[in-house]
């Protein structure tokens, strides 16, 4: 590599951007989303552009006088070249008409310089010769991805600018019918609580005791979003193989007893329904990773790559406690806390809801009726402190019938009460942006399928 080469830059373009702003400060709104002060290689132009942003944040006009006054107020007028340099760049552009072209030139050179720096960092990672090759690749990916991601991050903003951004985003959404603002679960009662669907950038914890159906519920939600809302779904299955997971999806879609997928002994009608279900699911944008071991850094890298190729709408992780740490953490509570914080950061970074399944402690089954019975509570979450704190939504799935082997067992304990074999509750225990409560849903255990009570003909609870 030729170390004598100057990094990509155009001082003329940097001067032209600032000259255009001194001519017509109102154009800043057209380029400020593209350019940052650090994109300028010249210190003088970097200071001038920063002063323009400061004036704009205060809703003050931008011209040669106000910029000079702001630079003097900040004590950097001389560093910025003084009034002579301001007059020079003002005279260097005939009009502000091409300001966006100048800004794109400055931006392009800035990205090129960042890529050169990233290449040097990746080179150092290579020379480190980390024996953990997966970790080395993940670190290298982080270096490159940071360049892209940094364009979406910023410092503190005034409310006025955020309101402006929200307005522009709403107008853009009106013109893009294909983008889902929220991701519906397909279960009406649940969607009512979460205001039409899962909010993008939310971390959703779906928890339940063993055999309650949390994996089935997550798959049902994924299926509903993919087929009914054309959403793109990523599923990480650390416990089940991809084949087993897909068989569950087919069983639910075709309403064929899940046990038949072991023997493959289908009737003619079931075989037809199975083929139809495979056709429907084959068209869905569902991607499954069934790695038996998965580290949080690997999950992030895989999602970034998938998101770049297919814009994601929803991520499902089955389940939280099976994730592997990137480093050694003796304290399990701290380790889970690292996982949930990383998952929340991923949700925000990719702008997708992440549904992470979680186990509940055995306290649920040990409580008596006087303490709320076997209804799950937030304190039942394993390593609950960080999970509850980081999650935007916490859902519990509960089926009282799962604690009884047969209707006879149920009748002995609950004489005169209806056997709730096909009834389940989704408990909204935490909802950062809405209400909490319970939703009764229909559950068909032989098909591992959840559905709306009204749709299934059981009436509303």
C-alpha span between 321 and 358 (Å, rounded): 7
User: Catalytic pick from 100, 239, 349, 456?
Assistant: 239
Does a structural domain hold residue 458? no
Confidence of residue 315 (pLDDT cuts 50, 70, 90): very high
Per-residue model confidence (pLDDT) at position 258: 82
Checking DSSP bridges between strand 286-289 and strand 314-318, what pairing results, if any?
A: unpaired
Per-residue model confidence (pLDDT) at position 379: 76
Residue where a domain terminates, one of 159, 177, 195: 177
Find the Cα–Cα–Cα–Cα dihedral 368, 369, 370, 373, rounded to 10°: 80
Do 253 and 211 belong to one domain?
A: yes
Per-residue model confidence (pLDDT) at position 383: 61
Does a structural domain hold residue 460? no
> In percent, how much of the chain has pLDDT > 90?
14
Does a structural domain hold residue 266? yes
Selected residue with higher pLDDT from 139 and 254: 254
Residue where a domain terminates, one of 123, 145, 177: 177
Instruction: Among 289-298, 338-347, 397-406, name the most confident range.
Output: 338-347
Question: Which of the residue ranges 46-50, 316-320, 329-333 would you say has the lowest mean pLDDT?
Answer: 329-333
Closest CA to 424 of 259, 254, 212, 238: 212
Per DSSP, the residues of 132-189 read -HHHHHHHHHHHHHHHHHHTT--S---HHHHHHHHHHHHHHHHT-TTS-SEE--S-HH
Q: Any catalytic annotation for residue 239?
A: yes
Do 164 and 222 belong to one domain?
A: no
Per-residue model confidence (pLDDT) at position 321: 81
Taken as a whole, the chain contains a residue count of: 461
Does a structural domain hold residue 456? no
Do 317 and 443 belong to one domain?
A: yes
C-alpha span between 44 and 19 (Å, rounded): 12
Q: Which two tokens stand for residue 427?
A: 């408990």
Confidence of residue 72 (pLDDT cuts 50, 70, 90): very high
Do 262 and 149 belong to one domain?
A: no
357-377: pLDDT as tens digits? 988 777 766 665 544 457 787
Does a structural domain hold residue 254? yes
Does a structural domain hold residue 369? yes
> Domain total for the chain?
2
In this predicted structure, the answer to whether residue 455 has a pLDDT above a threshold of 50 is: no
Q: Which two tokens stand for residue 391?
A: 């999650």
Residue where a domain terminates, one of 150, 177, 204: 177
C-alpha span between 237 and 121 (Å, rounded): 33
Selected residue with higher pLDDT from 301 and 353: 353
Do 5 and 114 belong to one domain?
A: yes
Do 253 and 304 belong to one domain?
A: yes
Question: Which of the residue ranges 64-73, 81-90, 213-222, 368-377 would you say has the lowest mean pLDDT?
Answer: 368-377
Do 253 and 302 belong to one domain?
A: yes
Do 350 and 438 belong to one domain?
A: yes
Confidence of residue 459 (pLDDT cuts 50, 70, 90): very low
Closest CA to 341 of 363, 361, 326, 359: 326
Do 63 and 169 belong to one domain?
A: yes
Cα 132–356–285 angle (5° rounding)? 90
Does a structural domain hold residue 352? yes
C-beta separation of 449 from 257 below 8 A: no
Confidence of residue 458 (pLDDT cuts 50, 70, 90): very low
In this predicted structure, the answer to whether residue 454 has a pLDDT above a threshold of 60 is: no
Do 189 and 167 belong to one domain?
A: no
Do 103 and 120 belong to one domain?
A: yes
C-alpha span between 231 and 233 (Å, rounded): 6
Confidence of residue 174 (pLDDT cuts 50, 70, 90): low
Per-residue model confidence (pLDDT) at position 461: 33
Q: Mean pLDDT across the chain, nearest whole number?
A: 81
217-261: pLDDT as tens digits? 899 999 998 988 888 999 998 888 888 888 888 888 888 888 888
- In DSSP terms, 356 is beta-bridged to 205, 317
Per-residue model confidence (pLDDT) at position 160: 63
CATH number of the domain encompassing residue 225 = 3.40.50.300
Alpha-carbon torsion (69, 71, 76, 77), positive or negative: negative
C-alpha span between 177 and 200 (Å, rounded): 16
> Structural domain of residue 292, as residue ranges?
183-451
Do 314 and 408 belong to one domain?
A: yes
Give 45's contacts (C-beta < 8 A, 6+ positions apart): 11, 14, 15, 17, 18, 89
Selected residue with higher pLDDT from 424 and 327: 424
Does a structural domain hold residue 329? yes
């Amino acid at each position: 590599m030729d170390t004598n080469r100057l990094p990509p830059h155009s001082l003329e373009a940097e001067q032209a951007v600032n000259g255009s702003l001194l001519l017509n400060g109102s154009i800043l709104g057209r380029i400020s989303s593209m350019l940052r002060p650090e994109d300028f290689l010249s210190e003088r132009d970097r200071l001038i552009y920063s002063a323009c942003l400061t004036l704009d944040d205060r809703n003050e006009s931008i011209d040669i006088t106000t910029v000079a006054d702001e630079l003097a107020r900040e004590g950097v007028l001389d560093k910025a070249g003084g009034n002579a340099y301001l007059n020079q760049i003002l005279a260097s552009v005939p009009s502000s008409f091409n300001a966006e072209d100048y800004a794109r030139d400055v931006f392009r050179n800035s990205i090129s310089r960042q890529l050169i720096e990233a290449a040097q960092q990746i080179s150092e990672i290579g020379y480190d010769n980390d024996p953990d090759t997966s970790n080395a690749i993940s670190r290298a990916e982080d270096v490159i991805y940071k360049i892209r991601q940094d364009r979406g991050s910023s410092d503190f903003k005034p409310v006025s600018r955020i309101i402006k951004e929200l307005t522009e985003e709403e107008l853009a959404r009106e013109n893009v019918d294909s983008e889902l603002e929220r991701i519906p679960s397909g279960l009406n009662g649940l969607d009512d609580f979460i205001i039409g669907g899962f909010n993008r950038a939310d971390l959703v914890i779906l928890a339940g005791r063993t055999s309650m159906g949390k994996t089935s519920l997550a798959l049902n939600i994924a299926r509903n979003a993919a087929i009914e809302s054309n959403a793109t779904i990523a599923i990480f299955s650390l416990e089940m193989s991809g084949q087993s997971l897909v068989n569950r999806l087919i069983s639910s879609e075709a309403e064929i007893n899940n046990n038949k997928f072991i023997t493959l002994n289908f009737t003619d009608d079931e075989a037809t329904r199975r083929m139809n279900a495979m056709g429907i699911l084959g068209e869905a944008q569902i991607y499954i990773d069934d790695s038996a071991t998965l580290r949080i850094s690997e999950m992030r890298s895989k999602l970034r790559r998938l998101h770049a190729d297919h814009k994601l709408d929803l991520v499902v992780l089955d389940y939280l406690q099976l994730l592997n740490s990137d480093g050694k953490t003796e304290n399990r509570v701290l380790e889970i806390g690292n996982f949930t914080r990383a998952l929340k950061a991923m949700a925000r970074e990719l702008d997708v809801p992440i549904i992470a399944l979680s186990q509940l402690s055995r306290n649920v089954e040990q409580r008596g009726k006087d303490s709320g019975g076997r209804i799950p509570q937030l304190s039942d979450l394993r390593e609950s402190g960080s999970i509850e704190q980081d999650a935007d939504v916490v859902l519990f799935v509960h089926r009282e019938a799962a604690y009884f082997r047969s209707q006879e067992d149920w009748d002995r304990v609950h004489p005169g009460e209806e056997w709730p074999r096909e009834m389940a509750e989704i408990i909204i225990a935490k909802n950062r942006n809405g209400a909490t409560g319970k939703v009764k849903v229909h559950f068909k255990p032989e098909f591992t399928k959840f559905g709306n009570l009204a749709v299934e003909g059981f009436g509303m609870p």
